[in-house]
Amino acid sequence: MTVTTLPLRSEVPQDETWNLESIYPSITAWESAYKTIENRLSEIEHYRGKLAQNPETLLECLTLSEEIIRGAEKVGVYSGLDSQTDASDQEALARSGQGQGLYNKAIAAVSFIEPELMTLGLEQLKKWMDDLPSLAVYKHYFENLERLKAHLRSSEVEEVLAQSSDPMEYFSGSYSSLVNADLEFKLAKAEDGSEREIGQSSINDFITDPDREVRRTAWENYADAYLQHQNTIAAIQTGGFKGDVFRAKVRRYNSSLEASLFPNNIPVEVFHNLVKVFKENLPTWHRYWRIRKELLGYEKLHVYDLKAPFTTKKPLIPYQQAIDWICEGMAPLGDEYVSILRAGSLEGRWVDRARNKGKRQGAFSWGMHDTQPFIMMSYTDDVFSLSTLAHELGHSMHSYYTQQSQPYVYGDYSLFVAEVASNFNQAMVRDHIFRTQQSPDIQMALIEETMSNYHRYFFIMPTLARFELEMHERAEKGEPINAQYMIDLTAKLFKEGYGEEVEFDKDRIGITWAQFGHMYANFYVYQYATGISGANALVNRVLSEGDEAANDYLEFLKAGNSMYSLDALEKAGVDLTSPEPVKAAFQVLTDTVDRLEKLAL
């Protein structure tokens, strides 16, 4: 009997891994940087209680604070990345904890600054910016602090909040260690009797396999491993929810939802608009399930059939081909954008694309002001991997342009706009391939990818957002939470989405909440759906209006945190305070279902 296994991390080619040496050439260099920053933490204490003295003292303090935070962030990014590709590497995991701990210590060390700034008041800060022009770069930062004033606590409370971040990080860390290192999955089995090893880096490949038995056994065995540890994962997840509630209460927000949205100046109505439009459009999903079942020729449609290929002629898309098509799709943004993307993806080794044992689930883009972007994914030579790569490169190019264009204080961006940039790339590349690759196999594969993408971002994520809202509200009321309640709630919400068209395996569907590390980022998942909505609107504008719209989009990428997220998006051409972009994105979904039905008839 043949068993296909995953290689060890040490066995994968270097060109399939990311270039961590661009941050620090060795672990010894990382350790040296760690000690340097750790020793500098006490320097900032010299300024405590003295920021009201004069503008020069304030500028000195802010400059030193940036140096310390920037150094700690770089240390944390290196060790954090190093721990993601092999969960069995205990030394790397330990360094990751050290790096995160140092960053949290640095945040705690500088936590007195913002309360003292608020005591000074915005009017005094405006006067000092006039007196000392070097302070003027902080204008938007100061104004935003004034807006947040009601939720900013004393320097002592702020320090405690910062120090609490370190132990609270262990909810997410414990979850990651459990699901990436300790979960044991039974082998997936093919119709010919061969077996395949399931891992977090291979599960998506298996659930898109043409072999229905591979899909069934992979999906069931994957879910069963989570179910086997449901009580442990539920306890960890409950800690994450209660940590969100704790921070919201300490900062005097009305809810965890408000605590998540208010710092980015986003009204809670944006969240509720999304959920409302999503629920109104569930019949579109029910129609798609019916068409999918008919096209596959199945009497019954199961969840493990939702990504089954419509044809066994699965187009092979090697990594180099994917880069070429992505670059061609992004050409409307100009030669500079394309050349940076191509160089980073190839010789720059931005992308860790290897599939290996112990590699964590999913995909992400990460980095900071003093590093290149880094992408983690598991590339499988198919249209789904191409789409994921385009998505993550959207994040990376967003980071690149922001960090090249903004000072460190504004050199990041909110999660709310992050998912716009990533989905923008996917939609641009998808449009290009639809127009230029007329092979029926590629056309069908691309429709499958489009529906899979919408399934994740416009079905799974809004459903999890509804779950997240109810669980936070339950935690806020002090009501009991356990694994069975979480499974039952998730199952109920997915039942609404699947309707009568999909066979319902209650517990395996109900454990879906446990399969997403996004649950440890307070109200993150809804932003995938708002992101895909904003992205579609901006793609339409760039493709229809040309250079002016493309330049507006590039300015959006460069804005970072120098303006509020909704303002940056409005300047680029989309208003996400309105439900209209979400409705328009659902129309794209409806059009794709129509296209599928016509192509298949």
What residues are annotated to the active site? Answer: 392
Task: Name the residue with tokens 């994957």.
Answer: 222
Which residues, at least 6 apart from 35, have a Cβ–Cβ distance to it below 8 Å? Answer: none
Half-sphere exposure of 400 (CA within 13 A, CB side): 25
Signed CA dihedral, 13, 382, 501, 582: sign only: positive
Q: Give how far the C-alpha of residue 322 lies from the chain's centroid of Cα atoms, to the nearest Å.
A: 21
Distance of alpha carbon 46 from alpha carbon 48, whole angstroms: 6
The two tokens of residue 573 are: 């051409």
Q: In the Cβ-directed half-sphere of 168, how many Cα atoms lie within 13 Å?
A: 19
Rounded CA separation 277/3 (Å): 46
- Identity at 267, one-letter amino acid code: P
DSSP state string for 17-60: S--GGGT-SSHHHHHHHHHHHHHHGGGGGGGTT-TTS-HHHHHH
Bridge partners of 497, per DSSP, are: none
Q: Tell me the C-alpha distance between 43 and 492, whole Å.
A: 54
d(CA 527, CA 518): 11
Distance between CA atoms of 396 and 147, rounded to whole angstroms?
30
Using the CB atoms, write b or e for 115-124: b if 16+ within 10 Å: bbbbebeeee
Which segments of 229-363 does DSSP mark as H helices, in order? 230-250, 256-261, 268-280, 282-296, 319-329, 335-345
Give the pair of three-digit tokens for residue 146.
């004034």
Three-state DSSP class for residue 366: strand
Tokens of 294: 């008919």
**Which among 3, 20, 183 has a CA at the least distance from the CA of 92?**
20
Strand 364-366 versus strand 374-376 pairing type: antiparallel
**Joined tokens for residue 104:** 């949290």
DSSP secondary-structure letter at 523? Answer: T
Q: What does the alpha-carbon distance between residue 422 and residue 140 come to, in Å, rounded to a whole number?
A: 26
Distance of alpha carbon 567 from alpha carbon 565, whole angstroms: 5
* CB 413 within 8 Å of CB 478: no
Alpha helical stretches, state H, 374-498:
383-405, 415-436, 440-455, 461-476, 483-498
Query: Where does residue 8 fall: left (phi above 0), alpha (psi -120 to 50 degrees), or beta otherwise?
Result: beta
Q: Rounded CA gap, 205 and 186, in Å?
A: 16
Cross-strand bridge partners of residue 4: 196
Q: Please give the Cα distance from 447 to 343 (Å, whole number).
A: 29
